[in-house]
Every structure is written in C-alpha cells, then in structure tokens.
Amino acid sequence: MIERYTMPEMRRIWSEESKFRKWLEVEIYACEALAELGQIPPDALAQIKERANFDVRRIAEIEAVTNHDVIAFVTNVGEYVGEAARYIHLGLTSSDVVDTALSALMKEAGEHLVTRLKQLREALLAKAVEHRHTVMIGRTHGIHAEPITFGLKMLLWVDETERNIRRMEQAVETISVGKISGAVGTYANVDPRVEAHVCARLGLKPARLSTQVLQRDRHAEYLTTIAVIGSSLDKFATELRTLQRTDILEVEEPFRKGQKGSSAMPHKRNPITGERISGMARLLRGNALAAVENVALWNERDISHSSVERVIVPDSTIILDYMLVKLVDIITNLQVYPENMRRNLERTHGLIFSQRVLLALVEEKGLSRERAYELVQRNAMQSWRTGESFRVLLLKDGDVTAKLSEEEIDKLFDVSYHLKRVDEIYKRFGL
C-alpha cells in the first residue's frame, strides 16, 4: 500500500484487518453450509459464529514459525473459538479462502472505481456544456489545423470515460467469482453446495471450473482494464499539460493560495498534478504486464503469482483511485482562458482556413485538386515564412482572384463555418 497516494476508502479495503476479516467471512460461511449439510453440529456452528475472531499481530507471530499465512490465520482463529475450531477449514484448501476473499475485495474496489469514473464523467460533462461554443484551434502533429471548441474536447473525453466505465464494470463482473473446490478443483473433499453458499453470501458467482486457484486471466483482465483507464487519464492530463505551456496557456490546472511552484523561481505555476497522473499511469501499465505474466501457472497451480498480486492488485486500485480523485479536482476547478484560445487561433494569420479555400476552388470553381492545392499552398507557405495575412496574399494572387472574388474569399475566413455541426454532435449525447 502506497501511503502517500492511498485514499481512505481504498485504505479500508486493502488493510490487513480487512483481508483477514474477509478470510474469516469465507470460513464462517463455509461452516454455515457444512452445518446445513449435517457435517457440523449446530452447537459447534453457534460457537464458531459467536467466538471467531483474529488478531493481526498474533497471526504475524504464528506465521513467523509456520511460514504459511493461511495456517497462521486458522490457528489464531482457533485460539478464539476453542474446541469447535476443528470444523473450521474442513475440506478446504488455502486458495479456496484466499482466492474467494480476493475476488470479493477486488469486486468492492472495482465498484468504488466505477463510482469515481462516474464522478469524472460528470465533471467532464459540466465542462463540455459550459464550453460548448468556446472556440479554440484544433491541433494535429502539434501544429494548428482547424477550429474546434473546447467543449468538443471535453465531450470527447466524456465519451472515452463512458467506455472506461463499461470496461471497469465488465472487469468487475469477470472477477466476481469464487471457488471452494478443494486442492485441485474436483470437490473431492467439499460439497459444491458449500461453494454455492459462500459465493452467494459474498455476492459472487461460483466459477464453472477451477483448479486449486481461480484462473488468472480474470485478474489480468481486471488489471489491464485499470491500465487502459489509467492511460486515458494520462492522455487527458498530457493534453492539459500541453495546453498549460506558457506559450499556449489556454487552460491551467488549479493553483491554490499558498501553493508554491518552484523552490528557485517564485513565478512558476507548474502542472504538477497532471504530471503526477501521467507518471502514475506508467505504474499501472507495468502492473498490467505483471498480471499478464501471472496467467501461465504450472499445472493445477504454482505460487509464482501470489507474491506479485500482493503488490499489484491493491496498488493498482489505489493508484487509479488517487488519479481519478486528482483529475476530477483538476477538471472541476480548471482555469479556462477563452481569450488566449482566440489569440492562438489567430496566430497563423488565417492559414487555418486553407482547406476552405482549396475546396472552394475545386468544388465551386472547377479547378483540379492538384492545381487548386498548388495555388493555396504557395500563398500559405509565403504567409508562414513572412507572417503576412493569408487572406491578403490570396487577394494579391491573380490566379486566385481570377476564380474567387474578394467577397467570396472573405466568406471563406468565417470561423462559424467550422462549428456548424457542433450542436449536431452534442445531440448524440442527449445535449
């Protein structure tokens, strides 16, 4: 657990106390089922349910001797329960407890991440609505292309976030399975009805078939999904960082009273939170690779995945939770500078309307595309080199004015032309 980046809810889910509590639930629910099947006396079940408890420090003491965490746990529970403890863990193997409990915790963590993603969607949607008609330059290859609106950029991220919500919901469904099927998954020493009862109590479904463990493609799907979502957040943060550059400054992440940007340069307002989000996404992608490596285990199980999952499962959910909290804050409190957007739009002296001129010469005046491209490009390159107005240069070019009047050229430099479908796009989102 990464203390610096752990939010309270994830701290609760992934604490040692929470893990052992979930293990205990699995053991008690298994005892309930065994009692229903007549394999545990009712008074023994009552004793187990009344007395069953554990002490994290005591488990650690026992594990130092046994070198086995589940045995240490069961031993400690037995110290609380007394004689009836002989019925605890009856017919179960360690992975029955560990894997089923882990699924329950991953389900809980995943559902929490879905809630966070929905908060991000709402923050983005609010910005999309607010800036529906806030004009800015669209960039391809980092170079000015044609006008868009800042709202469209936010709406694009809404769309991607909605896909991420569906991805996370699917990953939660995939991992929401348990197994109480014994040492190699054959139910030789435990009735399948025990599994059904335990899973029902935990809000899980029994795996159709398992070995000693649940198959790790499930965990890989969950963690690669988290990595994909993290990469989306990286994308959003990278864009905002780019737009915050001094020479662009179209948006700015929150910079609150008392905050310092640099120990050396008092003027600095650095996009540190966005940079942190981008950096943490790299951790998620690395953890996803480890999860994929865990899929291939020997035969019915080896233990090579266990140590890895102790790190990557809690840490990935913790990291993504933190990233989502921070990005929601950035989006909600984002400083948007429409005047700078307009100024940047005009920096290329009208070059962003080159396609409009090209299409007018081809579609309306009958020039070949090659000839029209030649006329437009030569004036565009001159404007690029000299800083002269692209419109003025076109008006000076006799080959162009032979086809287009001044009035026609002026109409081609209307920003609103590029935004005429904005409302149509918004309608696709019910807006």
pLDDT at residue 260, rounded to an integer? 86
- Region 80-100 average pLDDT: 97
List Cα–Cα distances, 246 to 10, 186, 268, 327, 420, in angstroms: 36, 64, 10, 21, 31
H/E stretch holding 428 reads none
The secondary structure of 25-89 as a DSSP string is: HHHHHHHHHHHHTTSS-HHHHHHHHHH----HHHHHHHHHHH--HHHHHHHHHHHHH-GGGGGTT
pLDDT at residue 409, rounded to an integer? 97
Residue 1 has pLDDT above 80, yes or no: no
Nearest Cα residue to 101 out of 67, 69, 64: 69
Residue 335 has pLDDT above 90, yes or no: yes
What are the residue numbers of the active site? 141, 262
What are the extents of the domains in the chain?
A: 1-90, 93-342, 351-412
pLDDT at residue 261, rounded to an integer? 86
C-alpha to C-alpha distance for 212 and 302, rounded to whole angstroms: 9
Cβ atoms within 10 Å, residue 170: 14
The secondary structure of 247-308 as a DSSP string is: TT-SEE----TT--S-SS-TT----HHHHHHHHHHHHHHHHHHHHHHTT--STT--SHHHHH
Please name the residues in contact with 413: beta carbons below 8 A apart, sequence gap of 6 or more.
350, 353, 356, 391
C-alpha to C-alpha distance for 269 and 265, rounded to whole angstroms: 10
Question: 236 by DSSP, 3-state: which?
Answer: helix
Confidence of residue 60 (pLDDT cuts 50, 70, 90): very high
Please name the residues in contact with 417: beta carbons below 8 A apart, sequence gap of 6 or more.
356
pLDDT tens column, 151-171 = 999 999 999 999 999 999 999
Task: Give me the CATH topology for the region 351-412.
Answer: Ribonucleotide Reductase Protein R1; domain 1 (1.10.40)
- Region 20-35 average pLDDT: 98
Residue 340 has pLDDT above 80, yes or no: yes
pLDDT at residue 2, rounded to an integer? 82
pLDDT at residue 427, rounded to an integer? 98
Average the pLDDT over each of 202-206, 219-223, 235-239, 263-267 and give the range with the smallest value.
Answer: 263-267
pLDDT tens column, 370-415 = 999 999 999 999 999 999 999 999 999 999 999 999 999 999 999 9
Task: Give me the CATH topology for the region 1-90.
Answer: Fumarase C; Chain B, domain 1 (1.10.275)
pLDDT tens column, 72-83 = 999 999 999 999
- Region 135-162 average pLDDT: 98
Residue 257 has pLDDT above 90, yes or no: no
pTM summary value: 0.95
First to last CA, the chain: 41
User: Class of the 93-342 domain?
Assistant: mainly alpha
Residue 262 has pLDDT above 90, yes or no: no
pLDDT tens column, 279-308 = 999 999 999 999 999 999 999 999 999 999
pLDDT at residue 270, rounded to an integer? 93
List Cα–Cα distances, 326 to 89, 131, 401, in angstroms: 43, 21, 54
Domains 93-342 and 351-412 are alike in CATH topology: no
Please name the residues in contact with 335: beta carbons below 8 A apart, sequence gap of 6 or more.
251, 252, 253, 254
Question: 333 by DSSP, 3-state: which?
Answer: coil
C-alpha to C-alpha distance for 179 and 428, rounded to whole angstroms: 43
